[in-house]
Structure formats: structure tokens, C-alpha cells
């Protein structure tokens, strides 16, 4: 099973909550935080 394969999706885990992708050719930004103790991953894509 592959969840939504959009930019920012977590393959085989979670589909996108919001499509925050900018148009082709524009810079994409990601802020990714992983907390090992709680096994939590937070991804902020283009400030969303």
C-alpha cells in the first residue's frame, strides 16, 4: 500500500493532510523534527 505519493507524503504510512506544494520551478521548504523517545515525526512543508 502506498499512500498518496504527493510531495511531502510519507510513503506506506500517511497521505498528505494538505497539499502545500508550490508550482514547479519554485523552491520547496521542509522543516522536519523527529523525536526518538515518543517516535514522533513532524513535517512542516512550505510553512503549512
Residue-by-residue DSSP string for 1-48: -----STT-BTTTB--SS--PPPTTSPP-EEEEEETTTTEEEEEETT-
At 3-14, the pLDDT tens digits run 556 776 777 777
- Which residue numbers in the chain have pLDDT < 70? 1-5, 8
Q: Looking at residue 5, what is its pLDDT?
A: 61
Place of cell 513535517: 43
Q: Looking at residue 4, what is its pLDDT?
A: 58
pTM of the model: 0.67
Q: Is the CB of residue 31 less than 8 Å from the CB of residue 48?
A: no
How far apart, in whole angstroms, are the C-alpha atoms of residue 8 and residue 19? 8
Amino acid at each position: 500500500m502506498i499512500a498518496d505519493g504527493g510531495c511531502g507524503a510519507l510513503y506506506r504510512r500517511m497521505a498528505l493532510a494538505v497539499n502545500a506544494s508550490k508550482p514547479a520551478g519554485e523552491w520547496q521548504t521542509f522543516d522536519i523534527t523527529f523525536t526518538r523517545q515518543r517516535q514522533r515525526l513532524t513535517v512542516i512543508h512550505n510553512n503549512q
